[in-house]
Amino acid sequence: MAPTRGPRVKKGLLERLDSGEVVVGDGSFLLTLEKRGYVKAGLWTPEAVVEHPDAVRQLHMEFLRAGSDVMQTFTFSASEDNMGSQWEAVNTAACDLAREVADKGDALVAGGICQTSLYAHHKDEVRIKKLFRLQLEIFARKNVDFLIAEYFEHAVEAVWAVEVLKESGKPVAATMCIGPEGDMHGVTPGECAVKLVKAGASVVGVNCQFGPWTSLKTMSLMKEALQAAGLKAHFMVQSLGFHMPDCGKGGFLDLPEYPFVLEPRVATRWDIQKYAREAYNLGVRYIGGCCGFEPYHIRAIAEELAPERGFLPLASEKHGSWGSGLSTHTKPWIRARARREYWENLRPASGRPLCPSLSKPDA
């Protein structure tokens, strides 16, 4: 199968999902750009779209080449309460960068909002919805293709976000940053999914905070609840690119390695191919990643699901399937690794003999 070249006929999000197509999301921006020197840890705000647009553009391009069907605006925590007077310039620039890159392929632009810093302290619905509407006004003016309410720890605030985004008339996806235990108020994943669909979300799921396998377990609970309630929606999952089996309810934020010592936990490309296949088998059709999810991880999703999609991403020109490129190596023991069975069965070492394999959450 050859990589696809040039733009294809662009279809909307729901048109793709309704026809059973796989939509490959994008991946990590905050952690990746922090490592590259463009985002400050702690604040985690996206002023890089104004200060360093070339860096953001480059990362969008890497995801597009790797197979992403969606260029999500880099607007995480870009509401007025976090950005002050910069909020409008940041949201505008983020939309322009995402559209510029999306138009180089057949990718869609998703305008993204996330939980506010106000909810935990004030729970003021009117004030919080006003913050969401300010961002929505920019997304509407820039004519994004659809909207995502992502990274919500509380179902109530996520519902408020969906209700505001629905005012645009555009498709709305909504993801919670929760694990199988549910949100911070004890609302189960299934109940969260039901609330989001009833609020108007066409696509529901989870993103961030937990690793691939925990995220898929949570997706299964959401799916079961929607089926039991007689509700229909599409499913999306955008997990961390890290292994996090030792997380508590608060996810990876509570682990002592967060955020600067997560590298030993990075998922391999083969892990992500397995994640993509298991997500697909579960019925999830919008599959991407969040923090720690690099472009080669996105390529792994696109390659694993190439038979269903009918094409490979451009980045596969430089990547032999299951290490097949190693067949030309001069050393015979490395040539012997040019096969799927080798990489599927390998148990990789960390190279850290004095370190534990798991941690204890701080909270």
Summarize the annotated binding site for Zn(2+) as residue ranges. 208, 290-291
Is-contact 209 242, C-beta < 8 A? no
Residue 278: which region, alpha, beta or left (left: phi > 0; alpha: psi -120 to 50)?
alpha
Residue listed under structure tokens 């003999």? 353
Is-contact 172 147, C-beta < 8 A? yes
Name 284's bridge partners.
Answer: none
Nearest to 293 by CA among 90, 108, 26: 26
Is-contact 7 105, C-beta < 8 A? yes
Nearest to 106 by CA among 16, 193, 1, 178: 16
Residue 276, H or E segment? helix 269-282
Is-contact 69 23, C-beta < 8 A? yes
Phi, psi of 206 (to 5 degrees): -135, 155
Binding site per annotation, positions: 208, 290-291
Cα separation, 94 vs 59, whole angstroms: 12
Cα separation, 153 vs 201, whole angstroms: 17
Q: What is the CA radius of gyration of the chain?
A: 20
Q: Which residues contact 116 (CB under 8 A, 6 or more apart)?
A: 79, 81, 82, 128, 131, 132, 157
Helix, coil or strand: residue 251: strand
Residue listed under structure tokens 């050859």? 2
Q: Which residues contact 134 (CB under 8 A, 6 or more apart)?
A: 79, 80, 87, 88
Cα separation, 131 vs 136, whole angstroms: 9
The 3-state DSSP composition of the chain as helix, strand, coil percent (nearest 5) reads 45, 15, 40
